[in-house]
Structure 1
Amino acid sequence: MFGLDLSFVNWEIISKFVIKGFIFSVQLTVIATIGGIIFGTILALMRLSGKAFLAVPATIYVNGMRSVPLVMVILWFFLLVPASFYNMIPGGSNYRAEISAIITFIAFEAAYFSEIMRAGIQSISRGQVNAGRALGMTYSQNMRLIILPQAFRNMVPILLTQTIILFQDTSLVYAIGAYDLLKGFSTAGKIYGRPEEAYLLAAVVYFVICYSLSYMVKRLNSKIAIIR
């Protein structure tokens, strides 16, 4: 159909080109999610601290990052950061694109995770906060022991949904030459002279993975709603 020949795809091509890119895409997603949640939580707490010297810089960072396309941030970091920065990392000069992608994604996704965390924290009733204060808890103890555990449970579906979006965005590292899932399909398509088929299969793989994860998140969300 339409002159497409999908028979060129076999286990040899998948194992040689695709799996390597898939592993990096998953690694980038996991690292960026963990780093983004940690950094995003700090930013959220800074914005909710009520102290201008903490809230203002955090607000500027979050709004600034959310106003710039991710691909531009990736290109800026990759092109503007001097090579000496990568030389400080053991073997960093050989993995410049990958290191740039990891740092950029953590910094960028932190702005989005920050808003999720802030909304989750604000969703907890003030009665919980006042109860912690009545028990003599400090602000950090109140957050660590009462507010954040409840907020995380409420935010799990949203955090997972953002992670799925993050996985889709990993295809943008193709712009700086990092070997991700899309790069694996693209390389195989160029070598075997089947670029159209390769990009079509890449789209199908992304769709299957993201749709399956979205379905799992939907099921999880329904279970959490029942618990509530």
Structure 2
Amino acid sequence: PATIYVNGMRSIPLVMVILWFFLLVPAIIGRPIGAEVSAVVTFIAFEAAYFSEIMRAGIQSVPRGQVYAGQAMGMTYSQNMKLVILPQAFRNMLPVLLTQTIILFQDTSLVYAIGAYDMLKGFEVAGKNFGRPIEAYLAAAMLYFVMCYALSWMVKRLHQKIAIIR
């Protein structure tokens, strides 16, 4: 079931999942749930598939010899995971987790499709209030770019800092 869930969610565009959840869940339960609640639940369900796959890959990236070494020392499975495998796996998966978080930040603009309030919607409202919609959208694009570029640069620096082989 987990494999079907992860592969299924990773095979569907996020905007489709947002729209399906926003339109189908109220029809199934018989009452509206709101755009913001729909967006939050959708992001949790969608990103869980990506984050779980990153975790799985990070754990599998630890060489089997490390697992055997922990077992040879008489560690239980949980001790081995806690003291040997997960510290090494976390080092491997941290840059990818942070990159996925940047992607999540970029994807929040998709809730615009269901009318939820996000940063893009805020810029749209400001643009309408000041009579400058084009400038507002350009400012939003610049802010997204600056934030994502800065975060990407920090992830790259972190990756260089924690790299074992330089």
Relative to the length of structure 2, the TM-score reads 0.89
CA distance in 2, matches of 1:104, 1:74: 6
* Aligned mates of 1:83, 1:134 — CA distance in 2: 56
Selected match of 2:21 from 68, 77, 82: 77
Deviation at 1:69, TM superposition (A): 0.4
Aligned equivalent of 2:104, options 156, 159, 166: 166
RMSD after superposition: 2.3
The one-letter amino acid paired with 1:60 is I
Question: With CA pairs under 8 Å and 6+ residues apart, which has the higher RCO, 1 or 2?
Answer: 1
Q: Which consecutive segments of 4 or more residues in structure 1 shift more than 4 A?
A: 83-87
CA distance in 1 between partners of 2:69 and 2:114 (Å): 51
Matches within 5 A, 1:33-48: none
Whole-angstrom CA distance in 2 between matches of 1:172 and 1:180: 9
Residue equivalent to 1:123 = 61
Please report how far the alpha carbon of residue 193 of structure 1 lies from its aligned counterpart in structure 2 after TM superposition.
2.5
Compare 76-85 and 207-216 and name the one that shifted more.
76-85
What per-residue deviation string (whole Å, max 9, x for no partner) do you get for residues 116-135 of structure 1?
A: 11221111111111122223
Per-residue deviation at 1:226?
A: 5.4
Query: Cα–Cα, structure 1 residues 134 and 143, in superposed 2: closer, same or farther, change >3 Å?
Result: same
Q: Which amino acid aligns with 2:59?
A: I
Q: Which residue of 1 aligns with 2:3?
A: 59
Matched residue, 1:180: 118
The Cα of 1:151 is off from its aligned counterpart by 0.5
Structure 2 counterparts to residues 69-218 of structure 1, below 5 A: 69-82=13-26, 96-218=34-156
SS in 1 for 2:127: helix
- After TM superposition, the score normalised by the length of structure 1 is 0.66
Alpha-carbon deviation of 1:83? 7.8
SS in 1 for 2:163: helix
1:125 and 1:195 map into 2 onto residues whose CA distance is: 54
* Secondary structure of 2:50's aligned partner: helix
Alpha-carbon deviation of 1:85? 6.4
Letter in 2 for 1:188: A
In structure 1, runs of 5+ residues without a counterpart are: 1-56
Q: Which runs of 5+ in 2 are unaligned?
A: none
Deviation at 1:204, TM superposition (A): 0.3
Percent identity of equivalent pairs: 80
